[in-house]
Amino acid sequence: MKLLDNGECNNLYGKTIEIKNLIADQECAASDGKTFESRNPSDQRDLVATVPIATQHDVDRALDAAKDAFQQWREVPAPVRAGVIARLGELLAANKETLAFIITREMGKTKKEALGSVQEAIDTARFFQAEGRRLYGQTVPSEMRQKELSTYRKPKGVVGVITPANFPIAVPSWKLIPAILCGNTAVWKPAPDSPAVAYLFGKLWQAAGLPAGVLNIVYGFGRPTGQYLLDAVDAGKVQKISFTGSTAVGRLVGEVCGRNLIIPSLELGGKNPLIVLDDADVDQAVEGALWATYGTGGQRCTSCGNIILQRKIYAPFKSRFLAAMEKLKIGNPILHPEVDYGPMISKSFYERFLEHYQTGSKEGAKLLMGKGRIDANNPWPNFHGDAEQGYYCWPTLWEKVKPPMQLALEEVFGPTTNLIEVADVDAAIQVANAPNYGLSSAIYTSNRQAIYQFKRTIEAGMSSINNSTTGAEAHLPFGGVKGSGNGMRESGIWVIEAYTYWHAINDDLSESLQLAQMDTEYLATQQEVDFAALLP
Ligand code: NAD
Q: How far is the CA of 269 from the centre of ligand 1 (A)?
A: 8
Provide the pLDDT confidence category of residue 95 given band limits of 50, 70 and 90. very high
Q: Which tens digits make up the pLDDT trace of 265-275?
A: 999 999 999 99
> What's the rounded Cα separation, in Å, for the pair 504 and 149?
7
Nearest to 40 by CA among 332, 248, 381, 470: 332
pLDDT at residue number 524: 66
For ligand 1, whether the C-beta of 301 sits within 6 Å is yes
pLDDT at 23: 98
Task: Tell me the per-residue pLDDT of 69-91, one tens digit each, with 9 for 90 and over.
Answer: 999 999 999 999 999 999 999 99
In the chain, ranges of CATH 3.40.309.10 domains: 272-475
C-alpha 100/C-alpha 421 separation (Å) is: 39
CA of 247 to the centre of ligand 1 (A): 8
Q: What is the pTM of this model?
A: 0.97
Q: Which atom of ligand 1 is nearest the CA belonging to 480? A: 41
Residue-averaged pLDDT of the chain: 97
Say if ligand 1 is within 6 A of residue 221 CB: yes
| pLDDT tens, residue by residue, 470-500 | 988 999 999 999 999 999 999 999 999 999 9
pLDDT in tens, 169-203: 999 999 999 999 999 999 999 999 999 999 999 99
CA of 379 to the centre of ligand 1 (A): 31
- Is the CB of 52 inside a 6 Å radius of any atom of ligand 1? no
Cβ of 224 below 6 Å from ligand 1? no
How sure is the predictor about 526, in pLDDT bands with cuts at 50, 70 and 90?
confident
Confirm or reject: Cβ of 76 under 6 Å from ligand 1: no
Give the pLDDT band (50/70/90) at residue 525. confident
- pLDDT for position 523: 66
Fold of 56-268+491-499: Aldehyde Dehydrogenase; Chain A, domain 1 (3.40.605)
Three-state DSSP state, 515: coil
In one-letter notation, the amino acid at residue 422 is V
Q: Which atom of ligand 1 is nearest to the CA of 345?
A: 26
Q: Does 269 sit in the ligand 1 pocket, CB within 6 Å?
A: yes
Query: Which part of the chain has CATH 3.40.605.10?
Result: 56-268+491-499
Looking at CATH, the fold of the domain delimited by 272-475 is given as Aldehyde Dehydrogenase; Chain A, domain 2 (3.40.309)
For residue 246, how far is its CA from the centre of ligand 1 (angstroms)? 4
Radius of gyration of the chain (CA): 26
Choose one of 268, 272, 462, 473 to mutate for the ligand 1 pocket test, by most ligand atoms within 8 angstroms of C-beta. 268
Mean pLDDT of 147-154: 97
Ligand 1 contact via 174 beta carbon (within 6 Å): no
The answer, yes or no, to whether residue 521 has pLDDT greater than 90, is no
Q: Which amino acid is at 338?
A: E
| Residue 250: closest CA among 236, 274, 234, 270 | 270
What are 242-285's pLDDT values in tens digits? 999 999 999 999 999 999 999 999 999 999 999 999 999 999 99
- pLDDT band, residue 519 (cuts 50/70/90): confident
Phi and psi for 144 in degrees, rounded to 5?
A: -120, 155
> Which ligand 1 atom is the nearest neighbour of the CA of 267?
41
User: Which of 188, 227, 244 to probe ligand 1 with, by most ligand atoms within 8 A of CB?
Assistant: 244
Taking the centre of ligand 1 as the mean of its atom positions, its distance from the CA of residue 451, in whole angstroms, is 33
Which residues are identified as catalytic? 267, 301
Q: How many residues in the chain?
A: 536
| Beta-bridge partner residues of 161 | 188, 242
Give Cα separations from 295 to 98, 113, 388 (angstroms).
21, 9, 21
- The predicted pLDDT at position 372 comes to 97
pLDDT in tens, 299-318: 999 999 999 999 999 999 99
- Which sign, positive or negative, has the C-alpha torsion 175, 176, 181, 185? positive
Angle at the Cα of 461 (from 458 to 462), degrees rounded to 5? 85
- Where residue 42 falls among pLDDT bands split at 50, 70, 90? very high
> What is the predicted pLDDT for the residue at 138?
97
User: How far apart (Å, rounded) are the C-alpha atoms in residues 408 and 391?
Assistant: 25
Cβ of 244 closer than 6 Å to ligand 1, yes or no, is yes
Going by alpha carbons, the residue nearest to atom 15 of ligand 1 is: 222
Mean pLDDT of 341-363: 97
> Which residue type does 266 have?
L
pLDDT of residue 217: 98
> How much is the pLDDT for 212?
98
Give backbone dihedrals phi and psi of 244, rounded to 5 degrees, phi first: -125, 130
Beta strand 437-438 pairing with 481-482: antiparallel
- How many A from CA of 79 to the centre of ligand 1? 33
